[in-house]
């Protein structure tokens, strides 16, 4: 396991680095990889996968942050929680926020007009979910003040590199909460409400 941890970090980071290089160096168009609320609403759900293979701007701090947080998560959490937090953080948080946008646009066709075509990509929702999962474990083992301070420090670092926020950034709050839920509740227990929430979100896209 000690050998597997650094190999896992290197492998996952290499995958994201490869996707980023394909866009930035090989000329693969960002539109072919990055999700937007509109394109996902049109049924292009595979963009939720490919958008997680791209490091956000600035790409180097994003990759480094991904590797560091994953390394900490691998040290603290079992693999099943890491995978569950990553998948749910990447997909469920995005679908829920997009579902809110889709539902609002059913009422007002101009709602969220500034973000409906905004390219949404990066690994930050996975990072947020892992931070939430680690915080959920640390909350019962260490000082609550220290855990809260650590989470705020992570937030400050993220804002320092990417200070401009939109409604799509609420995905990070959802992903953090999902990460906490993954380690505080049996995965089977949270799976059913998550499935229902995703079903509602997808229905909003196609209404």
pTM here is 0.90
Sign of CA dihedral 186, 189, 193, 198: positive
List the domain range (segments joined by +) for residue 139: 4-206
Could you tell me how many residues make up the chain?
Answer: 207
pLDDT of 1 reads: 47
C-alpha distances (whole Å) from 147 to each of 5, 89, 119, 140, 151 are: 23, 20, 32, 10, 6
Mean pLDDT, residues 27-37 taken together: 94
Peptide bond into 58 cis (omega under 30): yes
Domain count, the chain: 1
Residue % of the chain over a pLDDT of 90: 71
Residue % of the chain over a pLDDT of 70: 87
Number of Cβ within a 10 Å radius of residue 168: 21
Tens-place pLDDT, residues 161-207: 999 999 999 999 999 999 999 988 766 565 666 666 666 666 666 55
Number of Cβ within a 10 Å radius of residue 196: 10
pLDDT of 178 reads: 93
């Amino acid at each position: 396991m000690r050998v597997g941890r650094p190999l896992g970090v290197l492998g996952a980071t290499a995958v994201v680095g490869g996707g980023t290089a394909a866009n930035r160096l090989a000329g693969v168009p960002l539109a072919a990889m990055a999700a937007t609320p509109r394109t996902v609403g049109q049924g292009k759900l595979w963009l939720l996968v490919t958008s997680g293979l791209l490091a956000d701007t600035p790409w180097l701090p994003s990759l480094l942050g991904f590797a560091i947080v994953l390394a900490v998560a691998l040290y603290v959490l079992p693999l099943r929680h890491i995978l569950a937090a990553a998948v749910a953080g990447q997909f469920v948080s995005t679908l829920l926020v997009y579902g809110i946008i889709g539902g609002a646009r059913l009422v007002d066709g101009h709602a969220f007009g500034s973000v409906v075509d905004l390219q949404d990509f990066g690994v930050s929702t996975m990072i947020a979910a892992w931070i939430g999962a680690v915080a959920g474990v640390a909350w019962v083992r260490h000082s609550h003040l220290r855990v809260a301070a650590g989470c705020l420090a992570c937030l400050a670092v993220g804002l320092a590199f990417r200070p401009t926020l939109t409604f799509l950034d609420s995905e990070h709050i959802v992903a953090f909460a999902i990460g906490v839920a993954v380690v505080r509740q049996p995965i089977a227990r949270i799976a059913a409400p998550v499935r229902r929430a995703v079903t509602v979100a997808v229905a909003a896209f196609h209404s």
